[in-house]
Structure formats: structure tokens, C-alpha cells
């Protein structure tokens, strides 16, 4: 076990999911999900396609509605109350597979938009914060370009910076590297590793097992809408308990 | 070595050879023509055919313009001069251009007023069309409708001022009450505006001649001015209404959604001309006789309804073209519905919709000539009615219709050029 994985997990609960169920129409996507995430934890979620990984993390910031059970984020119960949803969304940052930058705004405007309109930060201060985080993801010189002029890896790093500008306490990642060419994956993973080292609470859906080994302190395996197995990365990879996990790992690590 | 050089080499060139021009047929006009006009038997035939058509047109039209007659009083004098040479009778435009532009009942001493309003129109739309102009100019854009009304219709200046005042009071009421809820803000704004208008109404009645321009009744409006009034007012009203309808159609609230769907589908299923007849005849029944809702106003309502339904559909197409990820990114950053719509969704949807919106706007502007059918004397109505049926100018078709076409073409071409410029300007790389 390396030193990053050992650091800064407190016993303060960041996310608490109890008995959560979700249906799309009659299709039961998520079944009886129980999950407690502590502040500072880095969790990697993996599993076969269609197993409900995206749906799970999208429920956490209410991009999807759940029908049963409870989700509590930073002590705020996620209900249909719009106030609570807004509170949670401004606490939780999210990065998407396809970046979802705003193509009609410059990189800088992408990063300052939410702080200015949601947090009511003065423009100047918001721009300073944005430049700070753009430097952190190593693309301050692109600030005045438009997203369409950047490479995929750069765009994803901008997306991370954009979320960070809201100073979230929790970050969700939904396959942030799977739309990228191999040579760009590393630059995005490096950014995420740096973030993890600073103690950010992170939930990542990813199939980058190297990343999972290096930074995660828990790996969750999902299948058919259920959490099948969760464990520390070493245990998880070397000693998977369920048969489905073994099969999945043999497929994904086999080549 | 170097001093032996001159002896061992028989010939040394002292000047550079000038670069030779490429052989003819490789560049320039000949090559271009061979590649673009005569690259095969089919293209050659088409080229010759095209040249022949252009030639016939020019030969036909040139004498018509070159031999055109100016400065006579009626068609008979005109025909005497043009006998045999096929010249046009442009004198009709010279004689009647004021009627063509302003209608035949607008007092000629007041022509400066609509002309001035027309010039100011450019100042008013400039900050809307060109986003890099100082935003303070938008204040004038806000005042312009009231100013233009005062200039064109005349009457006391108190009417446009109190109308403006009502809107301002309503706006501030909205800002105050909006914090409680959007509905409260809207309701309060409407109430505040109505009260303001009711109270200031007495003021207008008390001083009907305060700073008044001679009044011109709506039924005296005509000519191209009428087309411009209808076109500008209806386009500028139907854009916001169209946006609201498009958003309403996507709403999660079933009642709002169905109202929008039914409105749009109904309007799109009915020809504009029927709506205009409704405006002319039927709509009058819905209002008590003494209100006598102005005919121009009724027509504006109908054309606006018509074009806003079309614009709504164009914008819906733009909304549908946006990837879902844009909504999700906006949501995940904590923007609320109004912010996400205003800052993220609409700018992109409108950008995609520009060609479609311009299409509707240009079509709408030309469709304003349909009001001639309900006996309003717009440019087309003027030509068909008073001018062609006068004994002086009966039969001068080509010149008049050409004049009308040129006026409409200039405006529509201008709009289309602007939209292409805007599209290029908003291009921010691939998505
Ligand atoms: N909007 C929707 N309506 C209906 N079914 C949906 C919807 N979104 C997802 N699903 C279904 O829910 C299941 C879980 O989807 P989800 O996107 O969470 O899977 P995933 O684990 O993220 O898969 P992947 O690795 O391919 O991203 C899938 O079977 C999918 O077909
Ligand atoms: Mg997914």
C-alpha cells in the first residue's frame, strides 16, 4: 500500500446512501444501494457496461432522481426540495466523459460562469480563482481560447478546473478518460492524482486500474445495479471474492 | 584557381536570366476558362446557353432603362416619347414616390417625422445587432418604440411618456417582488403598470395638446412605411414570444406545455391571409365597439402570432440540437433553470437557429404586403389601388413593380448579409 492511499481519511461522513433504489420506467437500474463515503476518501467504481455506475454517481448530485431510499450529502438530505438540490450541487463537482464544456464561452468564461452567477463572486475575484486552477491543471495560456480549439485532454483538464472553481468538497468523475486518446489519458490522470493527494473526496467511475491501485482507498465493483464487492485496491485486485468480480477482472486485466 | 577560372570557362553569364512567364494556357484567363467553363462538351453547351440567356436579358432590359422617360405628367405623354424604343416610364416613380413611401393620406408636411423615425431605427437596432457597441446604447433602444410612436402617430407626448412610465414602474415592481416568487413578481408588475396607466390617463385627458405633434390616424398610414412598421414591430415582438413558446413547449409543466403546443400547431395550420381577415372583420366583435381597436394593432397582433409560432419551431430545432450534456453540465454547476437557459442553452440554441430565424423574418417582412388584401394601402396596396387606377398612370406595371421589388430586395438582402456576418462572427471552432 502506498502513502497516498493512507492519508487523510477522516471519520466524518461525506456521502451516505441508504437502501437506494432507482427505476427507469419498469427497468430496475439500481438495487438496494448502501454506501458510506468518508471525507477524504478516494473511491473507484468499476463494473461492466450497463451495470449502473453512471446512474449511481449521477444520483448523488440529483442529475437523476432516485425513487426509494435516502441520499445524504454533507448532511443535506437529497429530496425533491429544490433548495437542497442547489445546495448539494454547489458542494459537489462533476466531470463527464465528454467534458461538456460550454462551446460558446472561452475557457476563462467557462470557469468563472458558475462562481459569478451561483456564488455571486465578483468578476475579478472569480477570474483570479479561475486562473489559479487553470495553472494547477497546467493550461493557463489557453484561457482566452474556445473549447473547440483545445485537444481532448486539455478540455477535460479545463472541465476539472471549472468544477474546482466552485470550491467543491466532493468530486465525481464519470469515465473522465474513456473518450481520450492514450497519450492524453496520462495528463488527465496526473491532474486527478494531484487532486487526490490534496485530500479531495473523490468518486471515480473508471477502468484505469493503474489509477485505482495508486490513489484509491476503496474499489467498488458493480453489476446489474448492485454493489457486488468493495475492498481496498490490493485486496480487490489480488484476491477478488465473488465470481463475477473475478471474471470481470480477468477480462479487463487480461489484455 | 579563381584567376584561372576565366580562362578555363568559355562563357560566364554576368546577368541573371529573368524568370520566364509560364506558357499560355497554364495560368490566367485562358486556363481558368478552360477549367471552369469549357471542361467538357456538356459544360461547353451549358456555358454557351448561359451566355445566350444573359445576352438576351441584357439586350431586352438595357433599352428599357436607357430610354426611360423622366419628368412627364402622365402615361400618354410618356408613351409618345417612348414610341418604338421600348423605354420605361420612370416618371411615375418621380411623381408618386411620396405616395409609394408614405401612403396617399399621410400629410406631406409631416413626411419628416417617419423619415426621422426611420433614421433613428438604425441607431436603435445597432446595439442589438452589433454586440461590441457600448451597452449604454440599449437605453435608447428601450426608448425608441415610444419615440417612434410619437413621431409617426403624433398627438401629445404625454401618451408615449406615460406608456413608458408604466413599463418602468412595472419593471421595478417586478424586481422588488421577484425575490418572493417569480409569479408574484409578474403579477405585481402587471398590476403596477395598469395602475400607473390608469392614473396617468387622467393627466393625458387633462392636457391633450401638451407638446403635441399633429395627429395622424392609423388608417392614414400607408406605402412602404406601413410595411416597415409592420415588419419591425412584428419581428421584434415575435422573437421573444417565439423563445417563450419554444421553452414552454419543452416545459415539464403539462398545462404550459399543452397551451404552447396547441397554439403553435393551430397557428401553423392556418394561412396568414385567413388570420388577416379575422383581424379585419372578426376581431372587432370581441371588443366593445367604443374601444375600436386600431386596425394596424389588430394586424400586428395577427402577424406576430403567426411568425412567433414559426420562430418557436425554429428555436425548438436549435434546442433539440444541443447535446444533453450541456444541460447536465449547467445543472451540475448549480445554475438554476433561468440561469442555465439564459447563459448556456439559449445562446447556443439561438446561434444554431440564426439561419432559420432570418428566414422567418425575411418571409414575414415580405408577407406584410398581404395586408393589401384587406384594403390597407401598403406599398403593394398603393400600387394596385390608387396609382394603377388613376387615369394618369393606369398601365404602368413594370416600373412600379420593379420599384417595389428593389425596395424589398434591398432590405431583405441586407438582413441576409447581416445574418451571414453574424454566423461567421459567432463561429467558435468545432463543437
Ligand atoms: N435515460 C435512461 N432511460 C432508460 N434506461 C436508461 C437510461 N439511462 C441509462 N439507462 C439504462 O440503465 C442501465 C445503467 O446505465 P448506466 O449508464 O448507469 O451504466 P454504466 O454502468 O455507466 O455503463 P457504461 O460503462 O456503459 O457507462 C443501462 O442498462 C442503461 O441502458
Ligand atoms: Mg456510464
Write down the ipTM of this complex.
Answer: 0.90
Helix pair B346-367, B295-321: axis angle to 10 deg? 140
* Count of the separate structural domains present in chain B: 1
Largest pairwise CA distance in chain A: 55
Of B335, B336, B428, the CB nearest to A103: B428
B140 vs B143: CA distance, rounded Å: 5
Among B68-82, B257-271, B327-341, which is the least confidently predicted range? B68-82
Q: Is B63 inside a domain boundary? A: no
Radius of gyration of chain B (CA): 30
CB A104 within 8 A of CB A127: no
Cross-sheet strand order for the sheet of A226-231 = A92-95, A170-174, A201-205, A42-46, A218-223, A226-231
Predicted pLDDT of residue B307? 93
Classify residue B3: in a domain, yes or no.
no
pLDDT band with cut points at 50, 70 and 90 for residue B265: very high
pLDDT averaged over every residue in chain B:
84
pLDDT of A109 > 90? The answer is yes
- Domain membership flag for residue B40: no
Closest approach of A161 to chain B, Cα-based (Å): 12
**Minimal C-alpha gap between B43 and chain A (Å):** 41
- pLDDT at position B393: 79
Q: Match 492511499 to its residue by C-alpha cell.
A: A5
**Ligand 2 center to A95 CA (angstroms):** 12
Q: Ligand nearest A58 Cα, by number?
A: 1
Long-range CB pairs of B170-178 (<8 Å, 24+ gap) are B170/B196
Question: Which of B38, B60, B59 shows the shortest CA–CA distance to B49?
Answer: B38
Position B5 confidence tier, pLDDT thresholds 50, 70, 90:
low
On whether any CB of chain A is under 8 Å from the CB of B252, the answer is no
Whether the pLDDT of residue A54 is over 60: the answer is yes
Ligand 1 close to Cβ of residue A24 (< 6 A): yes
Q: Which cell numbers hold the place of B55?
A: 445576352
Q: Is residue B4 part of a domain?
A: no
- The predicted structure's pLDDT at residue A174: 92
Of residues A71, A73, A78, the one with CA closest to residue A33: A71
pLDDT in tens, B122-158: 888 888 888 788 888 888 888 888 888 888 888 888 8
Test site for ligand 1: of A23, A31, A44, A52, most ligand atoms within 8 A of the Cβ = A52
Is B243:B310 a contact under the CB 8 Å cutoff? Answer: no
Contact A117 B344 (CB under 8 A): no
**Residue B355 falls within a domain, yes or no?**
yes
Report the distance separating Cα B321 and Cα A204, nearest Å. 29
- Helix extents (H) in B250-371: 254-268, 272-277, 283-286, 295-321, 324-332, 337-339, 346-367
Of B36 and B293, more confident:
B36
**Cα(B166)–Cα(B203) distance, rounded to whole angstroms?**
13
- CA proximity to A163, closest of B340, B331, B339: B331
Q: Does B37 map to a domain? A: no
C-alpha distance across the termini of chain B, in Å = 67
Q: For the segment A114-148, what is each residue's pLDDT rounded down to a tens digit?
A: 999 888 889 999 999 999 999 988 888 988 999 99
Check CB contact under 8 Å for A102 and B326: yes
Between CA A47 and CA B154 the distance in angstroms is 74
What mean pLDDT is reported for chain A? 88
Specify the pLDDT at position A199.
87
Assess whether the C-beta atom of A155 lies below 6 angstroms from ligand 1: no
Interface residues of A toward B, Cβ cutoff 8 Å, are: 61-63, 82, 86, 89-90, 92-94, 96, 98, 100-104, 113-114, 117-118, 146-149, 162-163, 166
Is B400 inside a domain boundary? yes
B283 pLDDT above the threshold of 80: no
| pLDDT of A180 above 90 | no
Is it the case that residue B11 has pLDDT exceeding 70? no
- Please give the Cα distance from A129 to A112 (Å, whole number): 8
Q: Which domain holds residue B114?
A: 110-426
Q: Ligand 1 in contact with A51 (CB < 6 A)?
A: yes
CB B384 within 8 A of CB B365: no
How many Å apart are CA B266 and CA A58, to the nearest integer? Answer: 39
A6 pLDDT more than 60: no
Instruction: Give a yes or no: residue B20 inside a domain.
Output: no
Q: Rounded to 5 degrees, what are φ and ψ at A68?
A: -140, 155
What does the pLDDT look like over B94-123, one tens digit per residue? 888 888 888 888 888 888 888 998 999 988
pLDDT tens digits for A192-242?
Answer: 998 888 889 999 999 888 888 888 989 999 998 999 998 898 888 888 888
Average pLDDT over residues B345-370: 90
The enclosing domain of B183 has a CATH number of 1.10.3720.10
- Measured between CB atoms, which of B334, B426, B428 is closest to A118? B334
Helix axes B397-426, B223-249, angle to 10 degrees: 40
Which among B217, B220, B216 has a CA at the least distance from the CA of B103?
Answer: B220
C-alpha A47/C-alpha A54 separation (Å) is 10
Task: List all residues 6 or more positions away from B346 whose beta carbon is below 8 Å from its beta carbon.
Answer: B243
For chain B positions 298-317, those within 8 Å of chain A (CB to CB) are: none
Taking the centre of ligand 1 as the mean of its atom positions, its distance from the CA of residue A63, in whole angstroms, is: 13
Amino acid at each position: 500500500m502506498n502513502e497516498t492511499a493512507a492519508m487523510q481519511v477522516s471519520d466524518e461522513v461525506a456521502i451516505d446512501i441508504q437502501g437506494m433504489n432507482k427505476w427507469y420506467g419498469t427497468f430496475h437500474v439500481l438495487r438496494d444501494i448502501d454506501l458510506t463515503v468518508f471525507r477524504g476518501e478516494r473511491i473507484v467504481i468499476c463494473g461492466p457496461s450497463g451495470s449502473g455506475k453512471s446512474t449511481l454517481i449521477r444520483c448523488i448530485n440529483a442529475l437523476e432522481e432516485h425513487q426509494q431510499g435516502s441520499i445524504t450529502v454533507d448532511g443535506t438530505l437529497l429530496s425533491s426540495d429544490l433548495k437542497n438540490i442547489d445546495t448539494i450541487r454547489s458542494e459537489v463537482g462533476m466531470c463527464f466523459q465528454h467534458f461538456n464544456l460550454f462551446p460558446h464561452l472561452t475557457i476563462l468564461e467557462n470557469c468563472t460562469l458558475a462562481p459569478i452567477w451561483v456564488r455571486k463572486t465578483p468578476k475579478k475575484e472569480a477570474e483570479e480563482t479561475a486562473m489559479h486552477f487553470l495553472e494547477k491543471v497546467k493550461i493557463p495560456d489557453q484561457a482566452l481560447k474556445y473549447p473547440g480549439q483545445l485537444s481532448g485532454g486539455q478540455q477535460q483538464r479545463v472541465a476539472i478546473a471549472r468544477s474546482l472553481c466552485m470550491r467543491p468538497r466532493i468530486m465525481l468523475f464519470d469515465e473522465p478518460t474513456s473518450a481520450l486518446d492514450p497519450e492524453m489519458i496520462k495528463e488527465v490522470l496526473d491532474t486527478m492524482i494531484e487532486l487526490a493527494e490534496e485530500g479531495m473526496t473523490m468518486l471515480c467511475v473508471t477502468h484505469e486500474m493503474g489509477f485505482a491501485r495508486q490513489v484509491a482507498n476503496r474499489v467498488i465493483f458493480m453489476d446489474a445495479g448492485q454493489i457486488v464487492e468493495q475492498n481496498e485496491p490490493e485486496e480487490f485486485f489480488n484476491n477478488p471474492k465473488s465470481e463475477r468480480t473475478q471474471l470481470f477482472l480477468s477480462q479487463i486485466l487480461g489484455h | 584557381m579563381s584567376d584561372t577560372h576565366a580562362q578555363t570557362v568559355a562563357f560566364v553569364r554576368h546577368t541573371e536570366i529573368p524568370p520566364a512567364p509560364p506558357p499560355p494556357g497554364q495560368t490566367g484567363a485562358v486556363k481558368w476558362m478552360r477549367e471552369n467553363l469549357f471542361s467538357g462538351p456538356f459544360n461547353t453547351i451549358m456555358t454557351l446557353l448561359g451566355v445566350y440567356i444573359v445576352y438576351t436579358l441584357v439586350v431586352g432590359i438595357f433599352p428599357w432603362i436607357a430610354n426611360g422617360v423622366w419628368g412627364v405628367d402622365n402615361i400618354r405623354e410618356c408613351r409618345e416619347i417612348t414610341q418604338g424604343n421600348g423605354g420605361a416610364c420612370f416618371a411615375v416613380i418621380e411623381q408618386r414616390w411620396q405616395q409609394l413611401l408614405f401612403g396617399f393620406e399621410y400629410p406631406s408636411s409631416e413626411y419628416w417625422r417617419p423619415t426621422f423615425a426611420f433614421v433613428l431605427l438604425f441607431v436603435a437596432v445597432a446595439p442589438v445587432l452589433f454586440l461590441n457597441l457600448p451597452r449604454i446604447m440599449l437605453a435608447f433602444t428601450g426608448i425608441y418604440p415610444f419615440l417612434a410612436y410619437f413621431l409617426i402617430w403624433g398627438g401629445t407626448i404625454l401618451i408615449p411618456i406615460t406608456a413608458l412610465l408604466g413599463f418602468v414602474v412595472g419593471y421595478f415592481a417586478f424586481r422588488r417582488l421577484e425575490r418572493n416568487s417569480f409569479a408574484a413578481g409578474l403579477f405585481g408588475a402587471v398590476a403596477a403598470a395598469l395602475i400607473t396607466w390608469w392614473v396617468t390617463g387622467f393627466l393625458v385627458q387633462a392636457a391633450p395638446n401638451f407638446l403635441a405633434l399633429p395627429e395622424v390616424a392609423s388608417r392614414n398610414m400607408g406605402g412602404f412605411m406601413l410595411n416597415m412598421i409592420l415588419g419591425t414591430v412584428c419581428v421584434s415582438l415575435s422573437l421573444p414570444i417565439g423563445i417563450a413558446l419554444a421553452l414552454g413547449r419543452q416545459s415539464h409543466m403539462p398545462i404550459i406545455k399543452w397551451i404552447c403546443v396547441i397554439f403553435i400547431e393551430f397557428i401553423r395550420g392556418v394561412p396568414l391571409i385567413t388570420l388577416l381577415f379575422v383581424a379585419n372583420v372578426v376581431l372587432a366583435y370581441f371588443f366593445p365597439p367604443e374601444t375600436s381597436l386600431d386596425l394596424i394593432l389588430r394586424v400586428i397582433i395577427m402577424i406576430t402570432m403567426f411568425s412567433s409560432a414559426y420562430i418557436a419551431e425554429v428555436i425548438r430545432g436549435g434546442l433539440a440540437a444541443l447535446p444533453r450534456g450541456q444541460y447536465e453540465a449547467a445543472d451540475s454547476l448549480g445554475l438554476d433553470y433561468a440561469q442555465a437557459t439564459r447563459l448556456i442553452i439559449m445562446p447556443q440554441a439561438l446561434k444554431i437557429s440564426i439561419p432559420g430565424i432570418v428566414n422567418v423574418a425575411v418571409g414575414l417582412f415580405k408577407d406584410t404586403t398581404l395586408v393589401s388584401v384587406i384594403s390597407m394601402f401598403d406599398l403593394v396596396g398603393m400600387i394596385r389601388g390608387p396609382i394603377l387606377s388613376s387615369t394618369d398612370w393606369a398601365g404602368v406595371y413594370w416600373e412600379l413593380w420593379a420599384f417595389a421589388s428593389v425596395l424589398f430586395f434591398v432590405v431583405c438582402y441586407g438582413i441576409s448579409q447581416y445574418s451571414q456576418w453574424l454566423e461567421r462572427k459567432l463561429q467558435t471552432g468545432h463543437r
